[in-house]
Amino acid sequence: MATRINKYLSEVGFCSRRVADRLIEEGKVTINGKITEIGTKVEESDQVEVEGQKIEKSAKQKNIYLAFNKPVGIVCTTDKRVEPENIIDFIKYPSRIFPIGRLDKLSEGLIFLTNDGDIVNKILRARNNHEKEYVVGVNRPIDREFIKNMSNGVEILDTKTKNCLVRKLGPKKFKIVLTEGLNRQIRRMCETLGYRVESLKRVRIMNIKLDLPKGKYREFTKEELLGLNRLLENSSKTFD
């Protein structure tokens, strides 16, 4: 049965479909020696290579799901050219995995890593409304107006952010729960309101909370994985 090339690379655990599409657009993926295009389908007899690396058609591997407490300074990329802050090289996990989403270099906290491309798309799809919770420190005292404006949405990147839960934790610290993931969203929201983010930590993704020392990872518990799958039951994927 023919499979779309991005789905194929995801199913064999090479990368997420999103990353696969980027590699295809960059001309780094070949099928039977010819550079392929997005949407091309792969047959069982086809030979797929990424940057000259042969992708083996092995039996379906065990899915890996990791929670990692990313330190400041680590870059969320699988690009081996990013050294020494590459998240994959930092973790040194024995099997091929990739991060679900991003935390920028100056941010820290919870991020998932996996070899399951389908779960990546379900979690990242903004319309699925999956919660991500952050604790943020800013450069000056927070007032009621700031909390109100952050909660009701801020104009950034030619759009208005969704309503969200914001709670003051201290004079210059607050908690925010987002259901979308615009580029550097919290930093941009704060900048628009005249504040500068000095610390940003993600402490929860959906039902999984940060409970690890900085720089350490662990596998999801059975209970966490069951809970996550329940939350994802009605979620759509980024790609068909």
Angle at CA 111, nearest 5°, toward 107 and 116? 145
Among the options 21, 79, 104, 211, which is catalytic? 104
Q: Residue 117: exposed, middle, or buried by beta-carbon count in 10 A (0-12, 13-18, 19+)?
A: buried
Q: What is the pLDDT of residue 122?
A: 81
Q: What is the pLDDT of residue 207?
A: 96
**In order of start, what are the domains of the chain with their CATH numbers?**
3-54 (3.10.290.10), 65-125+211-232 (3.30.70.580), 131-205 (3.30.70.1560)
Q: What is the pLDDT of residue 206?
A: 94
3-class DSSP string for the chain? CCEEHHHHHHHCCCCCHHHHHHHHHCCCEEECCEECCCCCEECCCCCEEECCEECCCCCCCCCCEEEEEECCCCECCCCCCCCCCEHHHHHCCCCCCEEECCCCCCCEEEEEEECCHHHHHHHHCHHHCCCEEEEEEECCCCCHHHHHHHHHCCEECCEECCCCEEEEEECCEEEEEECCCCCCHHHHHHHHCCCCEEEEEEEEECCEECCCCCCCEEECCHHHHHHHHHHHCCCCCCCC
- Whole-prediction pTM value? 0.77
- Block mean pLDDT (10 aa), the chain, length 240: 86 81 93 93 89 73 91 87 80 90 94 88 74 97 97 95 97 96 94 98 97 97 93 62
Phi, psi dihedral angles at 174 (to 5 degrees):
-145, 160
Is 211 one of the annotated active-site residues of the chain? no
Q: What is the pLDDT of residue 239?
A: 39
